[in-house]
Amino acid sequence: MEHAAKVRTCLWFEKGGVEAANEYVSLVPDSRIEGVRDNGQPDDPMIVEFILAGAPMMILTAGPHYELTPAASISVLTEDQDETDRLWAALTDKGGETGRCGWLVDRFGVSWQIVPERMPDLLASDDAGVVQRVSEAMMQMGKIDIAALEAAAKEPAHG
């Protein structure tokens, strides 16, 4: 296997690394499996190197010694509500768990942030009222609803 990337994010899995990598690359454009090494584990290969939307990633399937945690997550900047909805549904299907503010944990235990590109734009507004209202709306959401964020941004100040 050729090593095309000097730096990769590595996710430690107890089992199922190839299945997870295959699922991830099927969901995100500009993604592909680069290589798989079984290292003596042909039923559940030890190393899967892949590209996820151009970012080099790796899954190391090496047993129950460590657990995945939300302290490290995969953040995906989505173009629109359709892409947000599609990824959210695919990643929470078959046992994934929804979280708050665009966060979820997929069925493999990996934490994700599904972030419509409009959200950071609204949160970077020069208008402190817009930032506050959008932040408050976001805090009430699981999956991010772009129309609801836009509506919050436009709400007049309560007086």
Domain boundaries, the chain: 1-64, 68-159
Domains 1-64 and 68-159 share a fold: yes
Say what the pTM is. Answer: 0.91
* Angle at the Cα of 71 from the Cα atoms of 58 and 150, rounded to 5 degrees: 100
For the domain covering 1-64, report its CATH number.
3.10.180.10
d(CA 5, CA 140): 39
Structural contact between residues 94 and 49, judged by C-beta atoms closer than 8 angstroms: no
DSSP 142: S
DSSP 156: P
Report pLDDT digits (tens) over 118-147.
Answer: 999 999 999 999 999 999 999 999 999 999
Backbone angles phi, psi at 95, to 5 degrees: 110, 5
Q: Under CATH, what is the fold of the domain 68-159?
A: 2,3-Dihydroxybiphenyl 1,2-Dioxygenase; domain 1 (3.10.180)
More confident residue, 3 or 125: 125
Lowest mean pLDDT among 6-15, 138-147, 149-158: 149-158
